């Protein structure tokens, strides 16, 4: 994809602060970080989102994300880490090239987790049955 910002970063047409690179994956600091050390793990192959990415590519991404997460936590002295993937605009995806966010977390960083809600037994049953059918 010629106009994809991550493809341009991978081709080194746009500068980025790379922290890791191999033949399949790159990782670089997010230019709008949630916390210091916020890193993106990106496949070199262009795939628009998680659902379009081949399983073998996702496997390599998650293995590298684990390794990079440990390094990020150690480097910035984080207390934890969130690994996030936004898929489709409704979920907040704005760059349409698959990527994982490694977000270092600190005990008093002020960030909150997404809210939960209480569903009725009927809603839970409907969701369970619909998901089970979709997986069949």
- Known catalytic residues are 99
Closest by CA position to 66, among listed 25, 110, 12 = 25
- Token pair 């790159």: residue: 26
Closest by CA position to 9, among listed 29, 32, 23 = 29
Q: How many CB atoms lie within 10 A of CB 40?
A: 23
Q: Which pair of structure tokens corresponds to residue 110?
A: 């002020």
């Amino acid at each position: 994809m010629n106009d994809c910002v991550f493809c341009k970063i991978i081709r080194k047409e746009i500068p980025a602060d790379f922290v890791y690179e191999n033949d399949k994956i790159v990782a670089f600091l997010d230019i709008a970080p949630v916390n210091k050390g916020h890193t993106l793990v990106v496949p070199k192959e262009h795939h628009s989102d998680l659902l379009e990415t081949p399983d073998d590519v996702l496997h390599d991404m998650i293995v590298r994300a684990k390794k990079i997460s440990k390094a990020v936590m150690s480097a910035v002295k984080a207390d934890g880490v969130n690994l996030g993937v936004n898929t489709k605009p409704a979920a907040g995806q704005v760059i349409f090239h698959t990527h994982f966010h490694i977000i270092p977390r600190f005990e008093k960083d002020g960030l909150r987790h997404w809210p939960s809600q209480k569903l009725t037994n009927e809603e839970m049953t409907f969701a369970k049955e619909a998901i089970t059918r979709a997986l069949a």
